[in-house]
Amino acid sequence: MSKTLAAMAFSLVCAASSSATAQVPLTSYVDAKGFIDVQALTCAQLAGTFQEDADLLSAWYSGWYNGLAKKHFLDLKKGKVVEHELIVYCKANPEKKIIEALAVVFKDERAKLGIHLK
């Protein structure tokens, strides 16, 4: 693992584990049929879950958005950056839904890349 990837992994672990509340597993949010309503999850729930669960959610949301865009590639580096930015944003805005936070983070990332949507 390169030093950059190791530093990014360390920062993600630190960001996820520095929450003031106890961490809970994603299984806490499943309904009676075993499903999670990903459109209802809040930033507080993302920030308060374990790193493995935050990684799983990030991968799921990435697949969802890429599927909507008809893309079939994974940009691993950008994915890690966006996941980190999402967790940072969610810790600062725990009342927001994750899908709202993703919209903000995606907009910021596009702006950094000079991409403007109509």
| d(C-alpha 24, C-alpha 117), whole Å | 37
* For the chain, percent of residues with pLDDT exceeding 70: 82
Report pTM.
Answer: 0.74
Q: Spell out the domain ranges in the chain.
A: 3-112
- Which residues is 97 bridged to in the sheet? 42
**DSSP 3-state of 42:** strand
pLDDT above 60 for 80: yes
100 within 8 A of 61, measured Cβ to Cβ: no
Cβ neighbours for 16, distance < 8 A, ≥ 6 positions apart = 47, 49, 50, 51, 54, 87
pLDDT classification of 32: cutoffs 50, 70, 90: very high
